[in-house]
């Protein structure tokens, strides 16, 4: 009987506060479901065994940490909000003779009930939707769909454990809150009148300046690697600036508007401007949090979508042909290069056996990382070191043989000794001659495209490619000079082609060729690289698809968080505004005037975070673009499209939520009339 008493009190407490509790429960349920789905997929064996499945499950495993952390922060926010709203009720119990100990028991029961309901319903929902989520993920990573259905017990256990921990911490936090409060405080109502918010010029202008600086960084950074580093600094600046602007800047703006008598004393501005100052003082921090959440969602979803849909671009840039072989071998000085012919005779028949081949690229290359000193590229290590210290830019010198160039590109160029064709990806450099070590080259022609791209070139350093008459004899000197201590030179034989074989057969072909090359006898093999576009595609889809999926999951969670914060704000405001609008009606404001004023204030409170988030996204754009370049994605229209679609979807969703919560607000505010 006695035990049932506390449980019943707790249950009544939840039911009587359902306007606040129901959204809290619903979002806790959603958090549980999302965490479970993420865990279930990252522990899924069939998924793991799939091509690319390992990458995808790793990404999801990382996502679990982010989701759990966020769920904790978010439930704490909502929980502390609830306990604040309920202090009055607890105060009443306290005056009716319940000690802190008894209140604690009610709280414990409430938490237990919340935990049981949210984890039970959340897990059921998670299990019900996990197959759907799996299908979506498989579709994204282009995996094969199977129709088995499994419930990994391990995932259920971890999910329950994580949320039990979160709720336990939350309970301790709430118990401390109740223990600290005095009964008088618990009962006191807030009708003492509130101080008007002061305009703080330092913080308001500081926020504006900080935001300006962050935007300037975002727009002015040119180098992709620098963009990566500065991005996090800019993000922190933007977060700080958002808080400052919405907390202090908004009040400042209202105060400035109030100074203009012509503007302020107009029916449509008078009430709105003065109440906005108060509203922003109370809500600035919450709105800033919403704005940052929204920005995160928008950046996350547009970037991951852009990576996912730009996958082919990245693939083509890194790996332009179906199969690529790079065989490096060493030659002693004066040794005749008989190996190229051997490689050709070995590889070509094997490749043709799998299917007809086209777009063959076959050439020799030798590479030298060095420094570009105007028209001179040193080859001696000490010299390179000194030049680098002196601040000359790093460069990568590639030498390509003329016969390979002619054969690959169907050209018929003839070069004299000491002549070369040049490509340089820094268009500023267009000398008519170039000296490499002791060897001067006269540049016959400047090429527009790099004839000898190396795979996975990130484009961080200047690449210079020289097409020279004969690698084997003349230019061995260069590579030899590079390795002064050792008496040999290194050459790379590049062979890439497209094949009309099916992708599984291509994958097999790559493995066969690798076997063949590794098992060559009497061959001075130094280094072997083989790659197959089909395999790469699977991997890229797995990682980008996994990221995109995670982006969607996180967006859903962030969205729900933002919605709940907004909803709580509205409810709170509603209770506080009730009396205010009652007075206005007595003074002679018409219902429609009141409604219009509420509308404009609500719209501002609602859409300021969205507008600011879109502005943040717009300024983050150049930086996001630069960072995507590191992933070989250089597709501006795609990025614009994904960003626009994300913003549009988000705005639509936001508008729907606005309508729903505005109704809750109106019903509270108009309750003022009936209760008089």
Q: Which residues bind another protein (CB under 8 A)?
A: 192-196, 261-262, 265-267, 270, 274-275, 277-278, 580, 583-593, 676
Give 308-313's long-range contacts (Cβ < 8 A, gap of 24+): 308/140, 308/544, 308/545, 308/547, 308/548, 309/638, 309/642, 310/628, 310/633, 310/635, 310/638, 310/639, 311/537, 311/540, 311/541, 311/544, 313/632, 313/633, 313/634, 313/635, 313/638
Beta strand pairing call for 439-446 and 419-424: parallel
User: What is the smallest separation between the CB atom of 186 and another protein, expressed in angstroms?
Assistant: 23
User: What is the smallest separation between the CB atom of 16 and another protein, expressed in angstroms?
Assistant: 19
Burial class (CB in 10 A: 0-12, 13-18, 19+), 308: buried
**How many of the other CB atoms lie within 10 Å of CB of 176?**
10
- Tell me whether residue 434 or residue 602 sits nearer to another protein (CB atom): 602
- Tell me whether residue 12 or residue 590 sits nearer to another protein (CB atom): 590
- Tell me whether residue 182 or residue 266 sits nearer to another protein (CB atom): 266
User: What is the smallest separation between the CB atom of 188 and another protein, expressed in angstroms?
Assistant: 16
- Tell me whether residue 229 or residue 599 sits nearer to another protein (CB atom): 599
- Tell me whether residue 362 or residue 577 sits nearer to another protein (CB atom): 577
Nearest Cα to Cα of residue 397 among 417, 418, 427, 376: 376
User: What is the smallest separation between the CB atom of 3 and another protein, expressed in angstroms?
Assistant: 37
- Tell me whether residue 260 or residue 433 sits nearer to another protein (CB atom): 260
User: What is the smallest separation between the CB atom of 572 and another protein, expressed in angstroms?
Assistant: 16
User: What is the smallest separation between the CB atom of 585 and another protein, expressed in angstroms?
Assistant: 7
- Tell me whether residue 9 or residue 271 sits nearer to another protein (CB atom): 271
User: What is the smallest separation between the CB atom of 590 and another protein, expressed in angstroms?
Assistant: 4
Give me the phi and psi of 449, to 5 degrees please: -115, 150
Sign of the torsion angle spanned by Cα atoms 326, 331, 334, 336: negative
Q: How far apart are CA 251 and CA 262, in angstroms?
A: 19
Nearest Cα to Cα of residue 646 among 672, 674, 610, 675: 610
Judge whether 315 and 540 are in contact, CB under 8 Å.
yes
- Tell me whether residue 107 or residue 254 sits nearer to another protein (CB atom): 254
Give me the phi and psi of 37, to 5 degrees please: -60, -45
Beta strand pairing call for 433-436 and 439-446: antiparallel
Torsional class of 312: left (φ above 0), alpha (ψ -120 to 50), beta (otherwise)? alpha
User: What is the smallest separation between the CB atom of 583 and another protein, expressed in angstroms?
Assistant: 4
């Amino acid at each position: 009987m006695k035990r049932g008493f506390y449980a019943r009190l707790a249950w009544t407490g939840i039911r009587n506060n359902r306007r606040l509790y129901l959204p809290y429960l619903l979002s806790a349920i959603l958090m549980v479901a999302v965490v479970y789905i993420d865990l279930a997929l990252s522990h899924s064996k069939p998924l793991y065994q799939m091509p690319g499945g390992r990458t995808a499950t790793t990404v999801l495993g990382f996502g679990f940490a982010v989701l759990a952390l966020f769920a904790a922060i978010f439930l704490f926010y909502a929980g502390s909000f609830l306990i604040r709203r309920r202090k009055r009720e607890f105060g009443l119990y306290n005056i009716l003779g319940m000690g802190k100990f008894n209140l604690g028991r009610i709280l414990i029961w409430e938490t237990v009930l919340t935990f049981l309901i949210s984890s039970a319903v959340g897990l059921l929902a998670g299990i019900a939707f996990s197959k759907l989520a799996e299908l979506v993920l498989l579709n994204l990573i282009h995996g094969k769909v199977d129709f088995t259905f499994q419930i990994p017990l391990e995932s259920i256990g971890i999910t329950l454990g994580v949320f039990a921990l979160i709720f336990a911490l939350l309970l301790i936090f709430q118990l401390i809150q109740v223990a600290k409060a005095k009964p008088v405080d618990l009962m006191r109502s807030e009708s003492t009148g509130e101080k008007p918010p002061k305009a703080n010029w330092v913080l308001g202008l500081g926020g504006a300046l900080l935001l300006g600086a962050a935007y300037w960084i975002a727009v002015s950074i040119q180098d992709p690697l620098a963009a990566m580093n500065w991005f996090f600094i800019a993000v922190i600046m933007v977060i700080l600036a958002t808080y400052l602007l919405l907390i202090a800047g908004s009040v400042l703006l209202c105060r400035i508007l109030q100074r203009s008598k012509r503007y302020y004393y107009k029916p449509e501005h008078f009430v709105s401007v003065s109440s906005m100052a108060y509203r922003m003082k109370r809500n600035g921090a919450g709105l800033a949090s919403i704005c940052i959440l929204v920005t995160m969602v928008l950046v996350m979803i547009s970037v991951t979508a852009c990576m996912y849909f730009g996958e082919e671009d990245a693939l083509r840039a890194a790996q332009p042909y179906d199969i690529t072989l790079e065989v490096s071998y060493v030659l002693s000085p004066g040794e005749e290069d008989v190996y190229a012919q051997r490689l050709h005779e070995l590889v070509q028949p094997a490749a043709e056996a799998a299917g007809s081949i086209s777009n063959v690229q076959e050439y020799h290359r030798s590479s030298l990382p060095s420094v570009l000193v105007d028209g001179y590229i040193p080859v001696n290590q000490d010299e390179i070191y000194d030049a680098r210290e002196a601040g000359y830019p790093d460069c990568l010198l590639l030498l390509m043989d003329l016969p390979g160039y002619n054969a690959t590109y169907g050209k018929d160029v003839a070069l004299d000794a000491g002549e070369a064709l040049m490509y340089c990806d820094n268009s500023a450099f267009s000398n008519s001659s170039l000296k490499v070590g002791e060897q001067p080259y006269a540049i016959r022609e400047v090429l527009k495209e790099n004839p000898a791209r190396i795979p996975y070139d990130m484009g961080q350093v200047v690449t210079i490619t020289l097409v020279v008459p004969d690698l084997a004899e003349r230019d061995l000197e260069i590579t030899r000079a590079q390795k002064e201590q050792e008496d040999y030179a290194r050459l790379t034989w590049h062979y890439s082609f497209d094949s009309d074989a099916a992708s599984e057969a291509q994958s097999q072909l790559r493995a066969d060729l690798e076997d063949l090359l590794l098992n060559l006898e009497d061959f001075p093999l130094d280094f072997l690289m083989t790659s197959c576009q089909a395999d790469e595609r699977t991997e890229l889809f797995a990682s980008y698809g996994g990221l995109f999926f995670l982006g969607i999951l996180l967006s859903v969670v962030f969205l729900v968080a933002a919605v709940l914060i907004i909803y709580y704000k509205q409810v709170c405001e509603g209770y506080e505004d009730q009396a205010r609008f009652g007075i206005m009606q007595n003074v002679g404001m018409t219902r429609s005037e009141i409604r219009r004023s509420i509308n404009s204030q609500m719209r501002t409170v609602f859409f300021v975070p969205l507008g600011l988030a879109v502005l943040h996204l717009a300024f983050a754009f150049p930086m996001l673009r630069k960072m995507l370049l590191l992933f070989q994605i250089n597709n501006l229209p795609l990025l614009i499209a994904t960003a626009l679609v994300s913003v549009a979807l988000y705005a639509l969703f936001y508008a729907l939520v606005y309508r729903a919560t505005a109704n809750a607000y109106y019903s509270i505010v108009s309750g003022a009339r009936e209760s008089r």
